[in-house]
Amino acid sequence: MGEEIKYEKTYPLGYEPEKAPTTADPNIRNQLIDFILKSGPSEVIDTDLFAVMAKRRSTRKFSDKPVQTTKIDKIIAAADTAPTAGNYQGFEIFYIKSPEKKKLLVDACNKQPYVDAPVVLVFCKNPSRVKFDFSENILKKFAIQDATLAAGYSQLAAQALGLSSIWIGMFDEEKIMEIIGTDLIPSSVLCIGYPKQTKFPKPRRNLKDLVHVIW
């Protein structure tokens, strides 16, 4: 048997996944994401993607029940699986742990009280990661799409884990940037937790109004 290679830990200060591989397998790409996404059971409620989509409903009232680290790990790993322009990953996630900063974020988000949620993730655009030789405008467009899509993946992952969320788009960019200490522009704030009450999904318009068939 060959010598086991130790898995190199590459976590940010203050955030360490609950479970991580101990040995490195050169045959597995993105080993940490793969490990986190496949590790279970951690109370996964729904693994049927379409059922998760059909049931998702925004929540603005969260219970005080804390969210397990294994679930936060999966929510973050899910964001990391999203496609990005050129795979340059033109976005960053700010995981807000400080209760004081969450309160400041409420104010930065037009005083929306539910921003003070059990888990708060700020998705920011980072066009400087997008190394295409295109105009600044295009790179910014890619970065906003990258950040938005990643947040969408996290939102679905939260639902699959029996959690609920609210997507916040109404905020003062400058205020958020000051609170979290970055020069990157936020694209969304995703607030996650256990819902106080489970609600039915909201209605949508008819398909005939949504889909425009071009012959």
Ligand X SMILES: Cc1cc2nc3c(=O)[nH]c(=O)nc-3n(C[C@H](O)[C@H](O)[C@H](O)COP(=O)(O)O)c2cc1C
- What Cα–Cα distance (Å) separates residue 123 from each residue in 46, 98, 106, 198, 210? 25, 16, 16, 26, 28
Q: Which is nearer to ligand X, 36 or 166 (CB)?
A: 166
**Closest separation in Å from C-beta 187 to ligand X:** 9
Record the tokens describing residue 69, joined without a space.
């680290």
Q: Is 169 in the site for ligand X (CB under 6 A)?
A: yes
The answer to whether 182 and 124 are in contact (CB under 8 A) is yes
CB closer to ligand X out of 76 and 147? 147
Report the nearest approach of ligand X to the CB of residue 168 (Å).
Answer: 4
**C-beta of 149: minimal distance to ligand X in Å?**
12
Nearer to ligand X, 83 or 169 (CB): 169
Name the strand (E) or helix (H) holding 124: strand 119-125
Q: Which two tokens stand for residue 78?
A: 């899910």
Could you tell me which stretch among 16-24, 91-99, 131-139, 167-175 binds ligand X (CB under 6 A)? 167-175
191 interacts with ligand X by CB under 6 A:
no
* Nearest approach, Cβ of residue 69 and ligand X (Å): 25
- Count other Cβ atoms within 10 Å, centred on residue 63: 13
Contacts of 29 (CB under 8 A, 6+ apart): none
**CA-to-CA distance for 171 and 111, rounded, in angstroms?**
9
DSSP code per residue over 156-168: HHHHHTT-EEEEE
Q: Which of 124, 168, 176, 192: binder of ligand X (CB under 6 A)? A: 168
Residues near 35 by Cβ (< 8 Å), separated by ≥ 6? 19, 20, 21
Report the C-alpha gap between 147 and 129 in whole angstroms.
12
Residue number with CB closer to ligand X (70 or 187): 187
Residues from 95 through 124 that contact ligand X (CB under 6 A): 112
- Report the chain's C-alpha Rg in angstroms: 19
Q: Residue 179 CB, nearest distance to ligand X (Å)?
A: 16
Size of residue set near ligand X by CB under 6 A: 10
Residue window 35-74: x/- pattern of binding to ligand X, with contact defined by CB under 6 A: ----------------------xx-x--------------
Q: How far is the CB of 58 from ligand X (least distance, A)?
A: 3
10-85-156-122 Cα dihedral, nearest 10 degrees: 60
The residue ranges that bind ligand X (CB under 6 A) are 57-58, 60, 112, 166-170, 202
